[in-house]
Amino acid sequence: MGLTKTEIFTEEQNRLAVMLKAMAHPARIAILQQIIKANACICGDLVEELGLAQATISQHLKELKTAGIIQGTIEGVSVCYCINPTVWKELQQQLSGFFSTYELKTNCC
Amino acid sequence: MGLTKTEIFTEEQNRLAVMLKAMAHPARIAILQQIIKANACICGDLVEELGLAQATISQHLKELKTAGIIQGTIEGVSVCYCINPTVWKELQQQLSGFFSTYELKTNCC
DNA sequence: CTAATACATCGTAATATTGCGATACATAAT
DNA sequence: ATTATGTATCGCAATATTACGATGTATTAG
């Protein structure tokens, strides 16, 4: 085996899993933090900021982009990446829904 | 290669990545939803709820437990799992911090 | 046109994840 | 002690991830 049984789960569960998976790596967390911090979209600056090879950064950016979390537009020679506001809000809402369901309950064991 | 360069990143980034990774699977999202929904801790009920083998569920539970998100206590023959309130709050705060930093900014590209 | 710059993609090696059957283990009932 | 029940762990096969050097591609500068 070795492949996730997506057909067993709901669209929502699969979608949330994909987005969380995209974020579930320290390098990609660092990338997102940089993008948010710099506000203006950064690009190859990331290669210098983080201690990873250019190919590796590019691959991480691709994964974030595939998940829809970031978007990139060509800006001359370089590429400008920034948060996709729509998806970001979607993720935020999914997660806050998740956490709010728990808050109401008391915990056992 | 093939292993994450944790030493490059901060404790916080690595910790958040570990927790998100634990959640980044539809089966584990479904498990967490069930645990929260049932409030009272469930156990092997999950095997029937989700369409996965007992060994697989047990493995997913272990991963959530290793990340600290859930905790299990032996209750007779069965095991009672529930959310770890401390870690859950920690994760919630880390994430809300993440999202709040973005809200303040305007988006480009 | 040519060179330089900034990224993307390919190919590859090392390692991790996913899922499950088989089996071990621990507690409860008989 | 024996059996039944509920979980955990082992071992395996299939696949995915991570990282990077090498190379391809597109835009700008000269």
A52 within a domain of the structure (yes/no) = yes
Full domain range(s) for residue B19 = 10-103
Asked whether residue B1 is domain-assigned, the answer is: no
Tokens 């829904």, residue? Answer: A97
In-domain check, residue A85: yes
CB B22 within 8 A of CB B62: no
Average pLDDT, chain B: 90
Q: How many domains does chain B fold into? A: 1
| Residue B54 belongs to a domain | yes
> In terms of C-beta density within 10 A (0-12 exposed, 13-18 middle, 19 or more buried), how is residue B89 classed?
middle
pLDDT digits (tens, 9 = 90+) for A6-18: 999 999 999 999 9
Determine whether the distance from the CB of A66 to the nearest atom of strand C is below 7 Å. Answer: no
- CATH number of the domain residue A55 falls in: 1.10.10.10
Q: B108, A72: Cβ pair inside 8 Å?
A: no
Indicate whether A109 belongs to any domain. Answer: no
The B 44-83 residues near strand C by Cβ under 7 Å are 52-56, 59-60, 63, 74, 76-77
Instruction: Say what the pLDDT of residue A9 is.
Output: 96
**What are the tens digits of pLDDT across the range B21-70?**
999 999 999 999 999 988 767 778 899 889 999 999 999 999 999 999 99
Q: Is the CB atom of residue A40 positioned under 7 angstroms from any atom of strand D?
A: no
Please indicate, yes or no, if residue B3 is contained in any of the structural domains.
no
DSSP symbols for A84-97: -HHHHHHHHHHHHH
Whether residue B46 is contained in a domain is answered as yes
Residues in chain A closer than 8 A to B71 (CB atoms): 109
pLDDT of amino acid B2: 63
In tens digits, what is the pLDDT along chain A, a chain of 109 residues?
Answer: 667 889 999 999 999 999 999 999 999 999 999 999 887 677 789 998 999 999 999 999 999 999 999 999 998 889 999 999 999 999 999 999 989 888 766 656 6
| Distance (Å, whole) CA B31 – CA B62 | 12
Assigned domain for B18 exists: yes
**Predicted pLDDT of residue A93:** 93
Angle at alpha carbon of residue A45, lines to A42 and A50, rounded to 5°? 115
